[in-house]
Amino acid sequence: MKKMAVVLCGSGFKDGSEIRESVAVLWGLSRLGVQVQCFAPDRPQADVMNCLTGKPMNGESRNMLTEAARIARGDILPLTQLRASQFDAVIIPGGFGVAKNLCTFASEGSKGKVLQEFKDALLEFHDHNKPIGAVCIAPAAVAMTFPGKHFEMTVGGPSEAAQEIEKLGHKHITTLASDCHVDRKNKIVTSAAYMCEAAIHDIFEGVRKLTEEVFKLS
C-alpha cells in the first residue's frame, strides 16, 4: 500500500487550508487505497478571518495544527515530523492560508519567503525523486521553494498569480478547474481548483485527476 503525506495549514479558505479542496484530496487518495498522514505547522496562523464577513478578527490567534485537526479528524502530526523517506508522495491542498501561512506569497508575491519547515519537506521529496501535488494557490508555494527550476504548473488561467510564478522561473500552463497538469520530468502535479470560477463537482474532478496522476508517478 502506498503512503502519502497531505500538508494542511489551518481550516478555512480565508486563512487556512480550503476545506473542500482538502476533503477532495483525502477523498481522491481514499479511492486509490492510499494510506494518508496529514501534517501541519505547529505555529500560529498569519491571521484569523471571519469567513462570513470576510473581515479579519483582530486580536484573535489560532494554531495551524490545532485548526487543521478539524479536517484531519484529529489524525495529524506537526510538519517538523514529516520525512520524505517514509512516504511515496506529498500533496498540498489550497486555500488562502497557503499563501499566508506556508509562505508570504499573498503579501510579497514572487519576492516572498517560504516557511522553513515546509521548504525543507518539499526539498526532501524532490531530492528523493518523489512526486509533489499542489492544488489551487499551492503551486505558488512550490514555485517559491524551487526558483529557477523551470517546473510546469497551473493556477488556472492567466492571472497575477500566474505571472508571479513565471517570474520565479517556471512555466504556467492554462487549464480548467476540472483538469490537472502533469510535469512528468519534475514529478510536479497541479490543479487550479478554486483559482477558477467553477462548480464544486469540477473542483473535485480536477483534484481526482491530480491524485491519480500523483499515484501513477509515485
* Active site positions, annotated: 136
CA dihedral sign of residues 89, 94, 99, 100: negative
* Closest to 109 in 3D by CA, of 136, 135, 137, 134: 137
The cell for 47 is 491571521
* Phi, psi for residue 180 in degrees, rounded to 5: -140, 165
**Cα angle vertex 92, ends 68, 155, to 5°?**
125
* CA atoms of 14 and 9, how far apart (whole Å): 11
Helix 64-72 to helix 19-31 angle (10° resolution) is 50
* Closest to 196 in 3D by CA, of 113, 94, 126: 94
